[in-house]
Structure 1
C-alpha cells in the first residue's frame, strides 16, 4: 500500500469517528450541561484548580498524554508483527476503547469535584478498588518519571542541538502565560509570538549546540539532575504560570510537526515496504495476541491518559461541553501521530535496505540508535522536500519536547495521588513539595542508577490494567446514573483478559525460559493476582450492568 493512502484513510476515519462515535458518547452517556459549574470554577485556587481556555487546555492535555508513547509503541509493534495488525488496532482500539476511556474518565472526574480516578473509584466501587488503583498509579507514575528523565537526559547528552529549545521554552511559556492570563493579550497574538519564539529557539539550538561541562557518565548525571529539579519545581508552580502555557506551546510543536509530516508524506508518498503481517508469533516478542495490544499502548489506549484527565485536566476544564474536544478529540489526534510514526518506519525506512541505502535500514537503526533515532531518520526522509537535512533534527526536537511535558505533569499527578492515598494518615504529604518529593526521589534513584530497567518490561501490562480499572470506575458511575454500561464494560473486560494473557506469557518465560529473570517473573505473578482482583470487581459490575441494561430495555 502507498503511505499517502493509508495516512489519508486515518485522517478521514478519525474525523468521522469524532462526529459519529464521540457525539454518541456525549449524548448518550455524558449529557454535558454548561449550567453546572466545573471544579475549576467552583473550587478555583489559582494553583491546581484554574479554568483554562479551551484551546490552551487542549494543548495541555494533548501534550501530557502524547509524550513518546504513541511513537515508540507503534514502531516496536511494526518491527515485531508488521504494519497491518498494528494499524487495525490503532484504528479500532482508539475509537471504541481509548478515546471513550479518555473522555469519560475526564468527565466522571469533573462530576466528582476534579478528584483523581482512583479517588472516584472509592466513591463508586469501594475502598479496595481505590487502594488497588492507587498502587498501580504510583508504580506507573514513578516508572514514567524515571524512564522519561533517563531518555531526556540521554537525548540532551547525545544531541546538543536540542538543549536551547528544551530549556528556552520554559521562560517563553511563562511569558506567554503572563501575557494571556494576566495582561489579557489576545490568544492569537500570543500564540504567534510564542510559535515564532519557539522556532527561533530551535534555530539557535541548531547554530549553537550546547554540551554538558563534563563527559561520559558525569554528563548524563548533569542533565538528569537538572531535569529532575526542573520537574520538581514545575510540579508545584501554579498551572497558569507554566503548565498550561508550556503544554500549549508544545502542542503547537507537535501539531506543526504532524502537519509537516502529513504534507511531506503526501508529497513523497513512498510505498510501504514493510510486510503487513509477519506471522502470529514473533520469536522475541511472543504471540500477536495479546502482545501487540500491550505493545502499542498509547497509540490505542493507555491508562496513563485517565490519570492525566482526572489529575490535571479535570481541574482546568472551564465548561462541560469542552470535554469532548479535549478528551475524545485529543486521543484521536494522538492516533494520527501514531499512524505517522508507523509510516516513518514502514515507508520512511527500509525493512530490507537496497544497496547503498543501508543507513536507512530499520533494524540497523533500531539496534544502534533505538526507536527515537528510527523515528527521527524516517521522519526526516518523509519531510525532506520541506525541511531538507533539518528534518531529522526537527523530528527529534518534536519528540523531545513532549518527553519534557510528560516529566513534570507526571510528578504533579503523583503528588495528587500521594495526597489522596497517604495524606489522611501522613499529613505532611499533603504539602505540595513533600508530595512531589515522594514521587521524585524514588524516580530519581531508578533513573539515575538505571535499575528501572529491571521492572520496566512490566510497565505495559501495569499501564493497561490502569486503563481497565478506569473503565470499570466509569462503568460503576454509569450504573449509578442509570446509563448504558456496554460501551465501557465490554472494553474493560477485553483489556483485563488481554493483560492477564500477556502477563501469563511473560511470567512463564521469565520463570522457565532459557534466560530466567526471577524478579520479572515474580512481578508478573503479583500483577496477575491484582488483575484477577480487578476481574472480580468487573464481574460484580457486569452483574449490575446487565440488570441496569435490562431495566432500561423494560422502561
Structure 2
C-alpha cells in the first residue's frame, strides 16, 4: 500500500506551525507573559558591548535560532522515523505549537524580567539554593554532551562531505565582514544580508567544485581528530569575542541560509511531490528497537521541545533583547523555525527513497539514519524536484547541517563558561572568562578523545542527551510556573505541558537505566542516576515553591520603561 504524498504532510505541518505563531503565541504574549514594549531590557540596562548588546530583532532571531537548532532537529527526527512517520509528525507539530514555542518564549521572558540571569540563577531565586546547585549539575552535563557530540558530528560530516569544508570555514570570514558592515559601517541591513547570503552560497558552489580531503595523518592526528581540535579552538575563540563580532552576524546569515535551504527542500517537495515510502506505524521494527512510548518523546527533543533552548534563551539571547515584545518573535518563532527543520528532516528521510525496501536498508537498526539519511534522502528530493545535481544538493544539505551544529557548539562553549563561573561564585572563587573557557575546553577535549584518537569519546554520554534535555525543559517550565503564580498570571498553559514532558522524561530515564544495567554500561548508568536524582530533587523543590507562591502575596510588576534615548528611532 502506497503512503501519503509528502506534500500533504508539508502543507499540514507548516500550516499548523504558522497558526501557532500567529494565534497561540499572541495569546501567550497578551494573557500569560504580558510583554511590555516599554520595559527596560537587560541589554539596555547593562549594555557593555560584549555580552549585553541591544540587537535588531531579526539579527537576534538569527543568532538565537541557529544557536538552538544545531544538528539535533535533524538527528532526532531522522532516527525516530524508525517507529513510522505519523508519530514523528504528530509530536513535532503539536510539540512545536503548544510546548516548544511556549517554553522558549517563556524562558526568554523570565530571564529578561530578571536582569538577563541564566536559568541556573533563576532556579536559585524561584526554587531555592539547593535547587540551583542541582540545576547547574544538569545544565553542565547537558552542555558537555552537546559540545562533545557536535564536535564529532561536524568532523564526521567534513570527512564524509569534503565539499562542505570551504563553505564551513569560509562562512566565518563572511560573518566577521557582515558584523563590521552592520555595527561599524552602519550599512543597510537588507543589502548586507543579501550580499552575505550570496557570498555564502558562492562558497558552497566553490566547495562543491574543490572538495578538501585531508590525508590519513595530519599533525599526527586522523582527519576526524584534526577537525575536532580545530573546532574546539574555534569555539573557544568565538566564545570570548564580543557577540556582535562573530556570533550574531554568523548566526544571522546562517539563519537566512537555513530558511533558503528549507525553501529549497519544501520547494522540491512541492514540485516532485514524492510519496512517503516509510510506514505510518512501523510494525516491523528491527530487533532491539525500544518501545515508542516513552522513547519517541526524548529521541525527538529539538524540533518538539528542548531544554537546551532555555539555556540559550537565558544565557545569551536575553542579554541582547532590544524590546521585551521582541521575545515573541525571537523565542516562539525561533521554535517554529526549528519545527520546520524537523518536519523537513522527517519528509527527507521517509520520502527521499524509492522503495520501502531501500528505506529499510538504511533503517536496519535503532540509531541508524540520522544526518546521513537526511542528506541522502533530501538530496534525492532536491535533485528530482529542482534538477540540482545530486552532489551539489548533498553539499548544500551537509553544509547546512555543519553550520548549524557549529553555531550550537560555540554557543554551548560560551554557556558552559557561564556555568563554570556560576559554580565558582557558589564556591566563592572568582573565575575570569579566560580561565573558565580553558576549563571548558580541557573537559570537552578530554571527553572527546577519551576513547581514542578518532574522537569517538564525544559520543560516549550522548545516549543520555534526550532524557537530560527533556528533564531540563520540564524543570525550566517549573520555574516559569512559579513566576506566573507569583505574578497572579494564568499558569496552566505552562503547567500542563510541564507535567507531560516530565512524566515522559523520567519514564524514559528509568527505561534507559534498566538498559544500561543490563548491558553493564556503568558510566552511563551512574550519570543517569545522578541526573534522575537531581531532576526529582529540583522537582520537589519546585512543587514546594509553587505552593508557597500560591499562598503568598503577589509580586508587583517591575515595568521600568526605556528612556527616549534608548528607544529605536522608529519607536520614539
SS at 1:299's partner residue?
coil
Alpha-carbon offset, residue 73 of structure 1: 0.5
Which residue does 2:64 correspond to in 1?
Answer: 61
Which residue does 1:106 correspond to in 2?
Answer: 108
Which has the higher mean CA deviation after the structures are superposed, 130-139 or 218-227? 218-227
Kindly indicate whether the alpha-carbon contact (under 8 Å) linking 2:135 and 2:534 is maintained by their aligned counterparts in 1. Answer: no
Which residue does 1:338 correspond to in 2?
Answer: 342
User: What are the equivalent positions in structure 2 for 1:188-207 lying under 5 Å apart?
Assistant: 188-207=190-209
Q: 1:403 aligns with which of 402, 405, 430?
A: 405
Cα distance change on mapping 1:445 and 1:82 into 2, 3 Å: same
Cα distance change on mapping 1:42 and 1:280 into 2, 3 Å: farther
Which residue does 2:92 correspond to in 1?
Answer: 90
Kindly indicate whether the alpha-carbon contact (under 8 Å) linking 1:273 and 1:347 is maintained by their aligned counterparts in 2. Answer: yes
User: What are the equivalent positions in structure 2 for 1:118-267 lying under 5 Å apart?
Assistant: 118-215=120-217, 217-267=221-271
Alpha-carbon offset, residue 367 of structure 1: 9.2
Cα distance change on mapping 1:478 and 1:267 into 2, 3 Å: same
Which residue does 1:478 correspond to in 2?
Answer: 484
Q: 1:318 aligns with which of 308, 316, 322?
A: 322
Cα distance change on mapping 1:281 and 1:433 into 2, 3 Å: same
Question: Take 1:140 and 1:536, find their aligned partners in 2: how far apart are those partners?
Answer: 21
Kindly indicate whether the alpha-carbon contact (under 8 Å) linking 2:413 and 2:437 is maintained by their aligned counterparts in 1. Answer: yes
Which residue does 2:532 correspond to in 1?
Answer: 528
Which residue does 1:43 correspond to in 2?
Answer: 46
The alignment status of 1:432 with 2:433, answered yes or no, reads yes
Question: Take 1:477 and 1:368, find their aligned partners in 2: how far apart are those partners?
Answer: 39
- Aligned residue pairs: how many? 541
Higher helix share: 1
Cα distance change on mapping 1:538 and 1:276 into 2, 3 Å: farther
Kindly indicate whether the alpha-carbon contact (under 8 Å) linking 2:157 and 2:402 is maintained by their aligned counterparts in 1. Answer: yes
The alignment status of 1:507 with 2:485, answered yes or no, reads no
Consecutive unaligned residues of structure 2, counting only runs of 5 or more, are 451-455, 555-572
Question: Take 1:64 and 1:350, find their aligned partners in 2: how far apart are those partners?
Answer: 34
Kindly indicate whether the alpha-carbon contact (under 8 Å) linking 1:350 and 1:361 is maintained by their aligned counterparts in 2. Answer: no
Cα distance change on mapping 1:453 and 1:224 into 2, 3 Å: closer
Question: Take 1:428 and 1:538, find their aligned partners in 2: how far apart are those partners?
Answer: 29
Question: Take 2:265 and 2:540, find their aligned partners in 1: how far apart are those partners?
Answer: 45
Kindly indicate whether the alpha-carbon contact (under 8 Å) linking 2:204 and 2:395 is maintained by their aligned counterparts in 1. Answer: no
Question: Take 1:34 and 1:312, find their aligned partners in 2: how far apart are those partners?
Answer: 20
Question: Take 2:306 and 2:32, find their aligned partners in 1: how far apart are those partners?
Answer: 21
Question: Take 2:285 and 2:271, find their aligned partners in 1: how far apart are those partners?
Answer: 35
Kindly indicate whether the alpha-carbon contact (under 8 Å) linking 2:66 and 2:251 is maintained by their aligned counterparts in 1. Answer: yes
Question: Take 2:47 and 2:94, find their aligned partners in 1: how far apart are those partners?
Answer: 38
Alpha-carbon offset, residue 77 of structure 1: 0.8
Q: 1:277 aligns with which of 281, 284, 287?
A: 281
Kindly indicate whether the alpha-carbon contact (under 8 Å) linking 1:362 and 1:374 is maintained by their aligned counterparts in 2. Answer: no
Which has the higher mean CA deviation after the structures are superposed, 67-76 or 209-218? 209-218
Question: Take 1:367 and 1:467, find their aligned partners in 2: how far apart are those partners?
Answer: 25
Deviations along 1:280-304, one digit per CA (max 9) or x if unpaired, are 9874232221111011000100000
Question: Take 1:260 and 1:477, find their aligned partners in 2: how far apart are those partners?
Answer: 41
The alignment status of 1:73 with 2:72, answered yes or no, reads no
Question: Take 2:284 and 2:469, find their aligned partners in 1: how far apart are those partners?
Answer: 24
SS at 2:245's partner residue?
helix
Kindly indicate whether the alpha-carbon contact (under 8 Å) linking 2:165 and 2:212 is maintained by their aligned counterparts in 1. Answer: yes
Deviations along 1:231-261, one digit per CA (max 9) or x if unpaired, are 0000000011001000011111111000111
Alpha-carbon offset, residue 106 of structure 1: 0.5
Question: Take 1:76 and 1:549, find their aligned partners in 2: how far apart are those partners?
Answer: 48
Kindly indicate whether the alpha-carbon contact (under 8 Å) linking 2:138 and 2:531 is maintained by their aligned counterparts in 1. Answer: no
Cα distance change on mapping 1:482 and 1:321 into 2, 3 Å: same
Give runs of ≥4 in structure 1 deviating > 4 Å: 279-283, 364-370, 544-550
Give TM-score, length-normalised by structure 1: 0.93
The alignment status of 1:517 with 2:518, answered yes or no, reads no
Consecutive unaligned residues of structure 1, counting only runs of 5 or more, are 551-555
Question: Take 2:545 and 2:292, find their aligned partners in 1: how far apart are those partners?
Answer: 29
Alpha-carbon offset, residue 523 of structure 1: 2.8
Alpha-carbon offset, residue 365 of structure 1: 8.7
Q: 1:19 aligns with which of 5, 17, 22?
A: 22
> RMSD between aligned alpha carbons?
2.2
Alpha-carbon offset, residue 509 of structure 1: 2.1
Question: Take 2:328 and 2:424, find their aligned partners in 1: how far apart are those partners?
Answer: 32
Question: Take 1:264 and 1:398, find their aligned partners in 2: how far apart are those partners?
Answer: 16
Kindly indicate whether the alpha-carbon contact (under 8 Å) linking 1:485 and 1:549 is maintained by their aligned counterparts in 2. Answer: no
Kindly indicate whether the alpha-carbon contact (under 8 Å) linking 1:482 and 1:548 is maintained by their aligned counterparts in 2. Answer: no
Question: Take 1:351 and 1:541, find their aligned partners in 2: how far apart are those partners?
Answer: 54
Which residue does 1:416 correspond to in 2?
Answer: 418
Alpha-carbon offset, residue 470 of structure 1: 0.4
Which residue does 2:567 correspond to in 1?
Answer: none
Which residue does 1:376 correspond to in 2?
Answer: 375
Kindly indicate whether the alpha-carbon contact (under 8 Å) linking 1:63 and 1:251 is maintained by their aligned counterparts in 2. Answer: yes
Give TM-score, length-normalised by structure 2: 0.90
SS at 1:239's partner residue?
coil
Cα distance change on mapping 1:238 and 1:201 into 2, 3 Å: same
Question: Take 1:84 and 1:367, find their aligned partners in 2: how far apart are those partners?
Answer: 17
Alpha-carbon offset, residue 49 of structure 1: 0.5
Question: Take 2:134 and 2:427, find their aligned partners in 1: how far apart are those partners?
Answer: 17
Kindly indicate whether the alpha-carbon contact (under 8 Å) linking 2:288 and 2:365 is maintained by their aligned counterparts in 1. Answer: no
Question: Take 1:545 and 1:37, find their aligned partners in 2: how far apart are those partners?
Answer: 25
Question: Take 2:363 and 2:283, find their aligned partners in 1: how far apart are those partners?
Answer: 21
Which residue does 1:459 correspond to in 2?
Answer: 465
Deviations along 1:426-463, one digit per CA (max 9) or x if unpaired, are 5442x122111222211111112333433221121111
Question: Take 2:366 and 2:201, find their aligned partners in 1: how far apart are those partners?
Answer: 31
